[in-house]
Structure 1
């Protein structure tokens, strides 16, 4: 595909505006008879993407994706998902509707997907026999491990850990922020098995000069250029050494699925999901803050100070995102339900980055009064916490149920969005609509 910034995937682009897609992707425009003849550079581009000439290219209708591209390998992987909403097909980005996140542990088929590049061959093959993880940089002894060595040389741990995309909730920003328009479902809480990140680094001997990690992965750049990396993020050394940061090789008791990073990935829970790098092949310890792709400029960064919606912020005034803010989700019932009874049972989850959730409150009168929900403790730190509550509506009519979580540092969810230019860290209260019919 031609190089340059791509905000929408191929299938999405053709679905929304097929004629413009033809012009952008293949350089052809449809005529009045909808027959946009392929010729010149457009024909060469499509032929290169298909890997063959197209003998009947003059008959190829405008606004149509070649079948070989409409159901490629990554879209076939996406078909294993259950009920997710596809936001982008190149790379695959998909979120889970809140009512499908009711389980305490998010099943693999319902865990959101946030990719930056092309799924590597090793993930399709699910064969890690030739894979190695390298540990180098500011270490005393650079090391290399096969998957079996990684499993056998270090203590295995299994933890329920939540991962949330830093842009979860971006669709609600006004003025809009560019990027995937996540609503509420770029969050999951799977059970991950792996080894402690700290144990692996300690085995290599961390030098006093090391302050930051750098993650390198096997996914390919969307341009197809093997010299380019789609993403290479890292975390401060202290976060990597935190006992709940792991290098995972299993998700919910199974090898990590292709879309989620087979054979291994980092899990840096409570921080933006981009720090939990998939398809991991190398960890470098650095004596400076890592400057790989998606670590510089305004990527995964927010202003140092609050700004009014629409404010232009100088790049020098952005800081790297770290822990995610306190947040909650109503998973039962699904929004826009009509019920006959005036009593309604509610359920959901809450989480708070590096902190823990201390309480969840519910309102059904637009915030005039609040009732504290029952909140279960987390099975381990960095897992979301399940809450439940019951409300009784005084009469028939339209109601909204709002959920507001508060963490152990006293931080509560706001009603309004904390606007920033990149659309990150939206932790405004979740609300659902309910109509009582009798």
Structure 2
């Protein structure tokens, strides 16, 4: 007997075929779907409304109203997260719960590679700094606070695999949609101040980060993850060794009592449960530091292609991205209302976002949003926009950010074997009742 397949699975395996199976839609040379007749009626029935701009709807596009998941998970100190894996625990935040300028601890996503330590109390916790330094350090959290300037910064922190679920063919790993991102207010000290106190040797090239989490196998000889960054990134004044988020102790699942915040780069460089920073005279080769982990091909590759390890490069700055945080996808406007005020956030790795545009007609036209400056470098930026809808029906709102280098979110980003760096335009569904 053939296996029943869900709508998302159908679209992940072959979106064009899924269109034909589910809605009878045929694809033209410009990838428009020619959705009409019975297919148009079928999709309208499923969505509960007609689609005013159906002629602009790309083929192979699962409607946003059908793509969202509302599964919640209960974790102490967390609420509303959608669990992707329970060993290790990984959970993402629905977009509407990321509406705050400062992400609440309860809504901050969880990304683990191993098993968190049982003891996450600050008392007795020590950090070693050694390797290519003139004076090795062994510091308590109190020592860090007493010896170095304490700073608080809002920093965007995103998993390198955020958006993996959107790649076709599918890539292995946690199937993040859009919620492996947060922007908390982190309190700690600058890593560069600590490294300066240790005295870097001329041979210092790269950091190696080590944590107290253990391997899923239980083998003490195995390390779940140990990554690092070039010295210039470690010495950036916004790279922190932190012990508080949003004015309170870091949540145990987010790395208590001590962690690194290496903003704008893959979250894996921001080691949790930090116990050691080793300075190396070579590019660090710890667990998940070598290809294909947290690496992408140097050049574009055909979807599904095999890529030799020598053809990968380590991911550094994350791509430009945006998120619609209000309204929640699936909203129906009240009777007599055809205007909607939108808001969200945008960010861009080491860069600043310079523009955000939104569309309600599948990208045929765009409206420029109002964009706020970040409170400090590496914080995401608030944007707001207003759209008016010409008639009743089903609409998709798309958001597209552009950074200072002119790089813009694509509709479909380049595929890569591990499903990293998906910065496709975010989209939500809105119903206009009348």
Shift of 1:255: 1.1
Distance 2:170 2:80 in 1: 26
Alignment partner, residue 93 of structure 2? 96
Alignment partner, residue 419 of structure 1? 415
Shift of 1:77: 8.4
Deviation string 1:375-399 (CA, Å, 9 cap, x unpaired) is 0100000000000001000111111
Shift of 1:128: 2.5
Alignment partner, residue 36 of structure 2? none
3-state SS in 2 of match to 1:133: strand
Q: Is the 8 A contact 1:376 1:386 kept in 2?
A: yes
Q: Is the 8 A contact 1:77 1:259 kept in 2?
A: no
Deviation string 1:286-314 (CA, Å, 9 cap, x unpaired) is 00000000001310000000112111111
- TM-score, normalized by length of structure 1? 0.81
Is 1:116 matched up with 2:113?
yes
Is 1:230 matched up with 2:218?
no
Distance 1:433 1:308 in 2: 30
- TM-score, normalized by length of structure 2? 0.82
Q: Is the 8 A contact 1:245 1:269 kept in 2?
A: yes
Deviation string 1:265-291 (CA, Å, 9 cap, x unpaired) is 000000000000000000000000000
Alignment partner, residue 338 of structure 1? 332
Of the two structures, which has the highest relative contact order with CA contacts closer than 8 Å and spacing of 6 or more? 2
Alignment partner, residue 214 of structure 2? 220
Q: Is the 8 A contact 1:133 1:145 kept in 2?
A: yes
3-state SS in 2 of match to 1:232: coil
Q: Is the 8 A contact 1:122 1:262 kept in 2?
A: no
3-state SS in 2 of match to 1:319: strand
Is 1:239 matched up with 2:221?
no
Alignment partner, residue 293 of structure 1? 287
Deviation string 1:149-177 (CA, Å, 9 cap, x unpaired) is 01110000000001000000000111000
Name structure 1 gaps, 5 residues minimum: 1-75
Aligned residues: 361
Equivalent of residue 355 in structure 2, options 353, 359, 362: 359
Distance 1:89 1:375 in 2: 37
Distance 2:211 2:101 in 1: 30
Within 5 A, what are the aligned runs for 1:143-182? 143-182=137-176
Equivalent of residue 269 in structure 1, options 235, 246, 263: 263
Shift of 1:78: 2.1
Within 5 A, what are the aligned runs for 1:31-430? 78-123=75-120, 127-340=121-334, 341-430=337-426
Shift of 1:230: 0.4
Q: Is the 8 A contact 2:291 2:313 kept in 1?
A: no
Name structure 2 gaps, 5 residues minimum: 1-72
Alignment partner, residue 28 of structure 1? none
Distance 1:289 1:211 in 2: 7
